[in-house]
């Protein structure tokens, strides 16, 4: 019976969690990406919905103008060339050798429109996220600055309060040394009572 291998397309964010898992180290919760270490061992598990692919130059000629980026899922690959904006859309199930560019077929225009719409939504969400991150960074900077200023103001106030309390204490002790009013009362209360007269 032939072995059927699954086709998993990891992306760069999957490298770290996969390698950590392979060497038996914990994957931090904040790490993006998925642990795909089970796939080479033909074990089942969660897999990415799609993979981002790119080529930053012509592989053979190594010259500018041939850069492309693509998104690939289990059924389709959608790619755009940088130099002229040419779009490619291939169906892996119906056209495994990628002989027909579906962008040129009107029946698939709806699918391309959905891809473009989703890409625009993602770009808008990314812009909103970047704006939000910038606002959070600015708020954090202001809060940190206010905290530092508060600390700088608080230290002299605490020292001043300590000095004032020490001054009151010293003044009270000096007053008692100079005017021992309490000593008369204390001394008066320590006298012997008069002798009791017998009946």
Domain ranges in the chain are 1-48, 50-104
List all residues 6 or more positions away from 33 whose beta carbon is below 8 Å from its beta carbon.
Answer: 11, 12, 13, 14, 15, 16, 17, 18
For β-strands 76-81 and 68-73, DSSP reports them as: antiparallel
Say whether pLDDT at 174 is over 50: yes
pTM (two decimals): 0.41
User: Which pLDDT tens digit goes with each residue over 34-66?
Assistant: 787 777 666 777 777 777 777 766 665 556 667
- Considering the four listed CATH numbers 1.20.1110.10, 3.40.720.10, 3.30.1120.10, 3.40.50.720, the one that applies to the domain covering 50-104 is 3.30.1120.10
DSSP at 86: -
The torsion angles phi and psi of 9, rounded to 5 degrees, stand at -115, 90
Region 62-74 average pLDDT: 73
Q: Report the C-alpha gap between 134 and 75 in whole angstroms.
A: 37
């Amino acid at each position: 019976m032939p072995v059927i291998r699954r086709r998993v397309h990891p992306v760069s964010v999957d490298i770290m969690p996969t390698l950590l898992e392979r060497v038996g180290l914990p994957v931090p919760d904040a790490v993006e990406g998925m642990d795909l270490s089970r796939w080479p061992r033909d074990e089942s598990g969660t897999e990415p919905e799609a993979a981002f692919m790119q080529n930053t130059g012509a592989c053979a000629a190594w010259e500018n103008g041939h850069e492309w980026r693509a998104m690939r899922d289990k059924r389709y690959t959608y790619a755009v060339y940088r130099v002229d904006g040419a779009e490619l859309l291939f169906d892996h199930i119906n056209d495994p050798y990628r002989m027909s560019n579906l962008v040129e077929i009107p029946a698939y225009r709806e699918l391309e429109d959905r891809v473009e719409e989703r890409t625009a939504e993602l770009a808008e969400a990314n812009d909103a996220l970047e704006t939000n991150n910038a606002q959070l960074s600015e708020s954090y900077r202001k809060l940190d600055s206010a905290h530092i200023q508060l600390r700088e103001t608080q230290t002299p106030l605490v020292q001043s309060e300590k000095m004032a309390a020490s001054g009151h204490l010293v003044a009270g002790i000096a007053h008692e040394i100079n005017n021992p009013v309490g000593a008369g009362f204390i001394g008066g209360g320590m006298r012997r009572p008069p002798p009791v007269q017998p009946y």
